[in-house]
Copies of this chain bind each other. A is one copy, B any other.
């Protein structure tokens, strides 16, 4: 539960008049997720969301510019659930976060919305930025946390060059998130414990061996 919302209901202190209903915000976002499950992305209409939320359609348009922005906010909330409890070893931590992420992607609203919003963002820089700050960065912290713990345990060496460290973190992030998403949504095969274990072995093996120098010639 983060206190800072995105930017809608930010009740600026020097603001007079009737404030926006925070309950309406929550109801709309919940209704959006519900409608996503029932209808999917393309058949989701803002009018339907308004009806489900018990608000007027105009209220919706007063707060969000369109379907894209609304769905990003509705789904971003779900990513707050991701956590990284200390499971004792780097392998266990990776395995845990993979399964956790897979569970999140197993939910119908996440499956549909994440891909759809990414698709729309390919031609919309503002939307892409919104996704980065609302979703991507929120997951990347898990990689940083996990690495730090592993370094404290002595499982990973301390990084010398901070720039290389950042690049490696980005690489790992794309590999982990990408593999889980691809397995789950594109190949449409289950991310179970067995797969998570194989994947973790592959990743940690790569980290252990490829310290940084290229492998060929």
* Bound form: Cα–Cα A189–B199 in Å: 23
* Shortest Cβ gap from A33 to chain B (Å): 14
Chain copies in the assembly?
2
Tell me which of B173, B174, B202, B213 contacts A171 (CB under 8 A). B202
Tell me which of B42, B123, B188 contacts A40 (CB under 8 A). B123
A18 in contact (CB, < 8 A): no
* Shortest Cβ gap from A127 to chain B (Å): 10
A202 and chain B: residue at smallest CB distance: B206
Q: Which residues of B contact A108 (CB under 8 A)?
A: 122-123
Q: Which residues of B contact A168 (CB under 8 A)?
A: 198
Tell me which of B113, B114, B120, B216 contacts A41 (CB under 8 A). B120
A120/B40 in contact, CB under 8 A: yes
B198/A167 in contact, CB under 8 A: yes
* Bound form: Cα–Cα A169–B20 in Å: 53
In this complex, the interface size class of chain A, counting residues with CB under 8 Å from chain B, is 35 or more
Interface residues of A in 169-217 (CB under 8 A from B): 170-171, 173-175, 177-183, 185-189, 195, 197-210, 212-216
* Bound form: Cα–Cα A121–B167 in Å: 33
Tell me which of B111, B136, B203 contacts A206 (CB under 8 A). B203
Tell me which of B41, B167, B187, B205 contacts A215 (CB under 8 A). B205
Tell me which of B40, B118, B170, B197 contacts A185 (CB under 8 A). B118
B198/A171 in contact, CB under 8 A: yes
B167/A174 in contact, CB under 8 A: no
User: Are A111 and B116 also in contact (CB < 8 A) when A186-B131, A201-B206 are?
Assistant: no
Q: Which 3 A-B pairs have the closest CB atoms?
A: A178-B182, A205-B209, A206-B206
19 A–B contacts from the bound complex (CB under 8 Å): A42-B67, A92-B216, A111-B122, A114-B119, A115-B116, A115-B119, A115-B122, A121-B188, A131-B186, A136-B187, A171-B199, A175-B178, A177-B186, A178-B180, A202-B210, A204-B215, A205-B207, A206-B206, A206-B207
Known pairs A42-B42, A178-B181, A201-B206. 12 more at Cβ < 8 A?
Answer: A89-B216, A112-B122, A116-B120, A121-B188, A132-B187, A170-B187, A171-B202, A174-B183, A174-B187, A175-B179, A177-B178, A181-B186
